[in-house]
Amino acid sequence: MILVCGPCSAESFEQVYQTAQCIKDLGITYFRAGLWKPRTRPGGFEGVKEQGLTWLSRVKKDFNLKICTEIANPYMAEQCLENGFDAVWIGARTTQNPFLIEDIAQSLDKSNITVMVKNPLNPDIALWLGAIERFEKHGIKNIIAVHRGFSLSINKYRQTPLWRIPLELKRLRNDIPIICDPSHISGKANLVREIAFNAISTGFDGLMIETHINPSAALTDKDQQLNTNQLKQLLQNLPIIDKNKNEDIEELGLLRKQINDIDNSIIEFLSERMAVSRKIAQVKKNKNLQIFQSKRWQEVLESITENAKNNDLETSFVKELYEIIHQESIQQQNIIINKSKD
Ligand code: PEP
Ligand code: MN
C-beta of 120 in contact with ligand 1 (< 6 A): no
C-beta of 8 in contact with ligand 1 (< 6 A): yes
Q: Measuring from atom 5 of ligand 1, which residue has the nearest CA?
A: 91
- Confidence at residue 242, expressed as pLDDT on a 0 to 100 scale: 81
* 97 C-alpha to ligand 1 centroid (Å): 15
On whether the CB atoms of residues 209 and 234 are closer than 8 A, the answer is: yes
- Confidence at residue 338, expressed as pLDDT on a 0 to 100 scale: 87
Of 7, 12, 15, which Cα lies nearest the Cα of 32? Answer: 7
- Confidence at residue 156, expressed as pLDDT on a 0 to 100 scale: 87
Q: Measuring from atom 1 of ligand 1, which residue has the nearest CA?
A: 8
C-beta of 149 in contact with ligand 1 (< 6 A): no
Atom of ligand 1 nearest to the CA of 181: 9
For CA atoms 101, 103, 109, 112, give the dihedral sign: negative
Looking at the CA of 116, name the nearest ligand.
1
SS (H, E, C) the chain: CEEEEECCECCCHHHHHHHHHHHCCCCCCEEECECCCCCCCCCCCCCCHHHHHHHHHHHHHHHCCEEEEEECCHHHHHHHHHCCCCEEEECHHHHCCHHHHHHHHHHCCCCCCEEEEECCCCCCHHHHHHHHHHHHHCCCCCEEEEECCECCCCCCCCCECCCHHHHHHHHHCCCCCEEECHHHHHCCHHHHHHHHHHHHHHCCCEEEEEECCCHHHCCCCCCCCECHHHHHHHHHCCCCCCCCCCCCCHHHHHHHHHHHHHHHHHHHHHHHHHHHHHHHHHHHHHCCCCCCCHHHHHHHHHHHHHHHHHCCCCHHHHHHHHHHHHHHHHHHHHHHHHHHHC
Looking at the CA of 117, name the nearest ligand.
1
CA atoms within 13 A on the CB side of 105: 24
- Confidence at residue 241, expressed as pLDDT on a 0 to 100 scale: 82
C-beta of 184 in contact with ligand 1 (< 6 A): yes
Looking at the CA of 151, name the nearest ligand.
1
Task: Give the model confidence (pLDDT) of 251-301 as tens digits.
Answer: 888 999 999 999 999 999 999 999 999 999 999 999 988 888 889 999 999
Task: Please report, for residues 8, 66, 110, 128, 143, the alpha-carbon distance to residue 139 in angstroms, rounded to integers and kept in the order given.
Answer: 29, 21, 5, 18, 10
Segments of the chain with pLDDT less than 70: 246-247, 340-342
